[in-house]
Amino acid sequence: MKIVEKIAKSIITPSKLPDADYVINPYIGCAFSCKYCYASFMGRFINKSIEGWGNYVYIKTNAVELAEKEVDKLIKKNANAKVLFSSVTDAWQGVEQKYKLSREILKIFVKKNFQGQISILTKSPLILRDIDLLKKLKNVRVGLTITSTDDKVSRFLETKAPNVLRRLDTLKKLNEEGVKTYAFIGPIFPHFINDIDNLDKIFKNIKEAGTNDIFVEHLNLSSSVLYRMKPFLLNECSQEVYNIYIKNSQSREHKEKLNIKIIEIINKYNMNLMLGKVIEHGK
C-alpha cells in the first residue's frame, strides 16, 4: 500500500449527487479495494492506472486547515446545506486512524454550530470512535454500506473492506447510542436475482440492527468498473455468474425484475426507501 501526503486546493466541493449539495473527501484512493467501486476513475487525476485502485491512498494533509476557512464560507452561502463525507473514498478507512482528518473536520462543524445536514457513508467500524462528535451535531446521519450478510460473499468483491457482519454490528451500536443511521445497499449484487432468500436476509438484518432508512443501488458498470471486474470475474467465477454480472445486470429486464423483489421486501419489513426509488447510477 502506497501512502502519499499531498496539499489540496479545497476540501468542500459542490456535488451533483441527488442528496448532497457538497462533498468532503479527505483522501484520494481507498485501501478497501472494492472491485465494483466506480471511484477508481479518480486515479487519472494522480497519474494512477485503473488496475492500481486499492493500492494507494493520498492524504490531503491540509484538509483541516482548508475546512476551517471553507466551513465559514459554506455557512454564509447556505447555512442549511447537505454535506456528504465519502463520495469517492472512504473517509474512515485505515489511514484515518493515524491522520484523523475526518474527525478533525467534524470537530470544525461542531465548533461552527453547523445547522445543515451532515451525511457519512462508510464501511468502517472506526466511525464508532467519533460518536462523541456525532452526538454534538444538530443534523447528522451515518450510513454503512451493506451488500450481503455473508462475509465470504462480501469479501469476494470488497477485497480488503471490514467484514459485513462488523458493519451490521456498527449500525446496531450507532442506533443504541441514538445516532441516526441508514444503510446503503449498493450495489445490489446481480446474482441475488436468483437468490431471493439471501437478498431478503440483507434487509432483515439491517432492520434487526435498528436501521429503517435505506438507499438501494444497482451495479453501475461504468467503463472503469467494467475494466477491473471483467477479467476478475472471468477468472474467478462460473460462466453463469459472469453472464449475470457482465452481460445481464445492466439490462432493463434484469433491473425491473430485481426492483419488484426489492420493493416487496421493503414493504415486508416496513422500511423507508430513501429518494423513493432504487438508484440507477452514482454512489
Would you state the cell numbers that stand for residue 260, as one nine-digit string?
419488484
Which is nearest to 56 in space by CA: 73, 42, 36? 42
Beta strands in the chain (DSSP E): 2-6, 12-14, 22-24, 27-28, 56-60, 82-85, 117-122, 140-145, 181-188, 213-218, 272-273
pLDDT tens track for 150-201: 999 888 999 999 999 999 999 999 999 999 999 999 999 999 999 999 999 9
Domain spanning 2-276, CATH architecture: Alpha-Beta Horseshoe (3.80)
Q: What is the pLDDT of residue 282?
A: 43
- Pairing relationship of beta strands 27-28 and 140-145 according to DSSP bridges: unpaired
- Pairing relationship of beta strands 140-145 and 181-188 according to DSSP bridges: parallel
Q: What is the pLDDT of residue 242?
A: 96
**Which residues of the chain are under the pLDDT cut of 70?**
281-283
pTM of the full structure: 0.95
Would you state the cell numbers that stand for residue 238, as one nine-digit string?
462460473
Q: What is the pLDDT of residue 281?
A: 63
Q: What is the pLDDT of residue 189?
A: 96
16 CB-near residues (< 8 Å, 6+ apart): none
Distances (CA, A) of 97 to 22, 86, 132, 223, 251: 24, 16, 16, 32, 41
- CA 205 to CA 168: how far, in whole Å? 8
Distances (CA, A) of 113 to 99, 118, 232: 23, 12, 47
- CA 126 to CA 87: how far, in whole Å? 17
Q: What is the pLDDT of residue 283?
A: 37
- CA 89 to CA 40: how far, in whole Å? 9
